[in-house]
Amino acid sequence: MAKTKLEELNTNIYDFKNADNYDYKIKKGLSKEIVEEISKQKNEPSWVLDIRLKALDAYNKLTMPTWGPNLDELNMDDIATYVKPKAKIESNWNDVPEDIKNTFDKLGIPKAEREYLAGVGAQYDSEVVYHSIKDELKKQGVIYTDFDSAIKEYPDLVKEYFTKCVPIFEHKFIALHYAVFSGGSFVYVPKGVKLEMPLQSYFRLNSPESGQFEHTLIIVDEGASLHFIEGCSAPKYNKVNLHAGCVELFVKDNAYLRYSTIENWSKNMMNLNTKKAILETNAKVDWISGSFGSHISMLYPMSILKGNNSSTEYTGISFAGKNQNLDTGFKVVHIGKNTSSVVSSRSISKNGGIATYRSLVRILPNATNSKCSVSCDGLMLDDISRSDTIPVNDVQNNQVSFSHEAKIGKISEKSIFYLMSRGLSEEDAKALIVRGFASPVSKQLPIEYAVEMNRLINLELEGCIG
């Protein structure tokens, strides 16, 4: 038992590199030529290139954020925005090139697919290398495919929704995203279809000094239901890598979507990701978000409660260690009547890490009889780490119930002593306390992912005691 534990702590299954063995890697930097070249490489319709060029223009005009972590280390001249792996998209793992297949094997993806997923997408650098969905779901009209194929096979559907949830001009990095986006998943669940098992897309960035800009678009039609899981990881390099993905979610009347993410980026990653959901009448979206790794993260999933009676829950955890600044949180806009949101955020910081919970709650004048409750807890494992909360609340009518609770504290020496008096080492004691602290999130995940999350916590705690 003790031995297994040690091995678990010492093997970081995420941090293995394959040779930078690409088919095509675009030259570093960002320019019109580069954007045009990406479009050409992808052989995509001209309306997509038009969006890219408009986005590039927006990127050049928009200013850097004036708040949040310092992004000076990010220099687009050092980033290759498109890396095409030596692989084409397959629907059988045996057809995926050996080194790439091994990567996903190590990450446990094919096994998960066999055991409890209804479909899987796997992206390696800028392109999706594997996509598959169970036949019976296809028969019910469920679409689950990579985003490039969706552009070609379902152009009307894509045109109707693409950029309509997260507009090009929303902020500088979303403009960047639309200029160079590549890969990602497209999901359509038809009216009334309820998926029993989750779909999962996994994004792996292997290539150094590059960026990943996948676009995920999900439409859950009236009365349908879906659990979508997103996983991300990358090996560690000495130079900056960039992730600026975008997730657009459309959840129709009476539909349900659970969107779970476990991100475990390497510690050289700038993770500037944008996710948003628009909810129609009586729709519900649950966000479960685990943010591990990355050098800097700016990640604030957002729910727009447009329809009456729509509701959303956000349960998030982030873990910031040495040299990490994780700026995460949740945004919600209540537009419809009787809308409700419940936010529970937890952050852990150690070895000088900074974990900030940044939130926005906006309740518009017409959103009468709405409810919002926010609770955030921060746990600092030592005196040099930081946990902050920066809430912005804008409540524009008085027929609402709104509560906000924030608790930030250091890990209790008394609790550590108590656990040690029961035979646990200092390290085990801290790990137990942290796992307990994280349990509101891990409880929301399927068991396999909860195990995965605990393992990430153990990895983060490794070497945390002198």
Partner 1 sequence: MEELLRIENLQTKVLDKQILKGLDLVINKGEVHVIMGPNGAGKSTLANTILSNPEYTKIAGKITFDGKDITNKKTDEIARMGIFMSFQTPEEIPGISVFNFLKTAKNKVTGKTIYGVDFKKEIEGYAQSLDMNPQLIGRDFNVGFSGGEKKKNEILQMLALSPKFVILDETDSGLDVDAIRVVSKGIDLYKNENNAVLVITHSTKILENLKVDHVHILIDGKIVKTGTMELAKEIEKNGYEAYKNGKD
Residues forming the site for partner 1 (CB under 8 A): 1-2, 412-415, 417-426, 428-429, 432-433, 435-440
Alpha-carbon distance of 128 to 131, in angstroms, equals: 7
3 state SS of 158: helix
In whole angstroms, how close is the CB of 425 to partner 1 at the nearest point?
Answer: 5
Q: Which is nearer to partner 1, 82 or 319 (CB)?
A: 319
Alpha-carbon distance of 161 to 154, in angstroms, equals: 11
In whole angstroms, how close is the CB of 226 to partner 1 at the nearest point?
Answer: 28
Q: Which is nearer to partner 1, 51 or 432 (CB)?
A: 432
Q: Which is nearer to partner 1, 45 or 440 (CB)?
A: 440
Residues across the chain: 466
In whole angstroms, how close is the CB of 287 to partner 1 at the nearest point?
Answer: 20
Task: Estimate to the nearest angstrom the gap between the alpha carbon of 80 and the chain centroid.
Answer: 21
Alpha helices in 134-281 (DSSP H): 135-139, 147-153, 155-161, 172-180
CB atoms under 10 Å from CB of 135, counted, come to 8
**CA-to-CA dists, residue 58 to 46, 55, 63, 176, 189, angstroms:** 18, 5, 10, 8, 32
In whole angstroms, how close is the CB of 256 to partner 1 at the nearest point?
Answer: 26
3 state SS of 459: helix
In whole angstroms, how close is the CB of 414 to partner 1 at the nearest point?
Answer: 6
In 3D, which of 437, 422, 428, 436 has the Cα closest to residue 458? 428
Q: Which is nearer to partner 1, 161 or 437 (CB)?
A: 437
Q: Which is nearer to partner 1, 10 or 425 (CB)?
A: 425
Q: Is the dihedral of CA 60, 66, 69, 70 positive or negative?
A: positive
In whole angstroms, how close is the CB of 419 to partner 1 at the nearest point?
Answer: 7
Task: Estimate to the nearest angstrom the gap between the alpha carbon of 465 and the chain centroid.
Answer: 29
In whole angstroms, how close is the CB of 413 to partner 1 at the nearest point?
Answer: 7
Q: Which is nearer to partner 1, 47 or 417 (CB)?
A: 417
Q: Which is nearer to partner 1, 436 or 463 (CB)?
A: 436
Q: Is 395 exposed, middle or buried (0-12, 13-18, 19+ CB in 10 A)?
A: middle
